[in-house]
Structure 1
Amino acid sequence: MTLLAFQEAKEIWQKAAYYQEASPLDLALELQIHRKLLNVFQVGPYYYYFFNVSTGEIEHTSDAVQKVLGCPPEAFSVPYAFSHMHPEDLPYFIQFERKVTEFFRQLTPSQALQYKVSYDFRIRRTNGVYIRILHQVVTLEVGAPGSVLRTLGIHTDISAFKQAGTPTLSLIGMEGQPSYLNVATDSVGLPSKPVLTLREKQVLSAIMLGKASKQIADLFSITKETVDRHRKNMLEKTQTHSTAELVAKALQEGWV
């Protein structure tokens, strides 16, 4: 099943790239440009990697994969991920990748750079224990309209926040683009009402990075009282009762 899933995924990715080839990877430049993005994504132990969509291959993985999965960076590849993914989650992965490709084929090149893909699945560490990974991806390189050639992926261990439940897919709009949350595999493209405002998402992202209200206020040049009001409003909107519960639900639902 793993081999068949890998072959099916490669076909999906080739369609996503419109059978074009990505440019040679300039690792130093890519890391410099996207270093700030890594901080945005960090909500727990994580590693990042560069993925060549046109070839279906991982080009570089950060050393932190050793801490999260227990394998050395050079061993981490798409076949490795597929062979260690929980068998029950592998079909979700294929469905999500197919729907993500359909969605991005509707976008202009500039729009493709303004979306984050977010879903979760379970993967087995080298010690045999399954952990739940939050899979977040942004586009780094595009070709013809609708094509994605290279992406940056971040895998975060969210086992402490989500122990059970089926994987969920969200397409998070950045820079004013609409978001599509908890996307059903037969309903990509139907807009959903944003749960949180842009400022609330920014505050929540800062909370996830462990920043206190005063630090968040200084970061966004607003008052501490405004930050506290945002925190209270987010709890009410999401029907949660604590910051920890809010963060856990945000990760499960793909709100940030």
Structure 2
Amino acid sequence: MDHSEKKHPLVEVWNSYSGIRKEKKHIAHIPPIERIIGEMFAIGEFYYYVINLTNSTLSHHHPNLLKLHGLTEYPQNLKEIIDLTHPDDIPFIMKAEEKVIQKMMELGKENHLYLKSSYCFRMKTARGNYELFHHQAVLTMEDEDHNLIQSVNIHTNIHHITQKIRTPY
């Protein structure tokens, strides 16, 4: 049976909206998951990048990364992102990441892809000052042994909401 032929109760409602195509059409272009995730969690100006956890390389950068930090080239390694972080916040980030690892170990490898971590720290902006950013990491890929391979990291400037770092522990 062709599943696209199945009727469901929402078809009538959706068909009442003129902005939905009525004839059958295959989806040719699906928005990248990084964009969907990034926009879903954003509460201010944001960007995302994909991090390869096996070697700390970055890819699939959102263009706002350049604008928000005044960069001319996309960072290729996580160290370049960390270099934008206020030096006084590095110990806090290390402690937050330790807590994340502890929780991941407690929950077990089989639950990795259901987790999202988040905390805040200051980053240098295009204006040359440090502003508070909300960091979120969504684990997106693992190998056959449940070892993590990839994460989408989302950074949202929340300076317009608060300037105070809140400790998660």
> Fold conserved (TM > 0.5)?
yes
Aligned position for 1:201: none
User: 2:61–2:74: 8 Å Cα contact kept in structure 1?
Assistant: yes
Distance (whole Å) between structure 2 residues aligned to residue 167 and residue 76 of structure 1: 29
User: 1:136–1:155: 8 Å Cα contact kept in structure 2?
Assistant: yes
Secondary structure of the 1:140 match is strand
User: 2:38–2:46: 8 Å Cα contact kept in structure 1?
Assistant: no
Match runs of 1:173-192 below 5 Å: 182=168, 184=169
Aligned position for 1:149: 149
1:76–1:155: structure 2 CA closer, same or farther, 3 Å change rule?
farther
Shift of 1:135: 0.2
Deviation track 1:74-121 (CA, whole Å, cap 9, x = no partner) reads 236422222221121010111112221222233344521111111000
Aligned position for 1:203: none
Higher-Rg structure is 2
Distance (whole Å) between structure 2 residues aligned to residue 74 and residue 159 of structure 1: 23
Deviation track 1:196-233 (CA, whole Å, cap 9, x = no partner) reads xxxxxxxxxxxxxxxxxxxxxxxxxxxxxxxxxxxxxx
Alignment length, in residue pairs? 140
Shift of 1:155: 0.4
Higher helix share: 1
Match runs of 1:48-197 below 5 Å: 48-75=48-75, 77-143=77-143, 144-145=145-146, 147-164=147-164, 166-168=165-167, 182=168, 184=169
Aligned position for 1:3: none
Question: Match of 2:121, as an amino acid?
Answer: F
Higher relative contact order (CA 8 A, sep 6+): 2
1:47–1:72: structure 2 CA closer, same or farther, 3 Å change rule?
farther
Deviation track 1:115-145 (CA, whole Å, cap 9, x = no partner) reads 1111000011243211111001111112324
User: 2:53–2:148: 8 Å Cα contact kept in structure 1?
Assistant: yes
1:150–1:30: structure 2 CA closer, same or farther, 3 Å change rule?
farther
Higher strand share: 2
Distance (whole Å) between structure 2 residues aligned to residue 110 and residue 98 of structure 1: 19
Gaps of 5+ in 2: 1-28
Distance (whole Å) between structure 1 residues aligned to residue 151 and residue 161 of structure 2: 26
Shift of 1:57: 2.1
- How does the TM-score come out when normalised to structure 1? 0.49
Identity of aligned residues (%): 26
Question: Match of 1:60, as an amino acid?
Answer: H
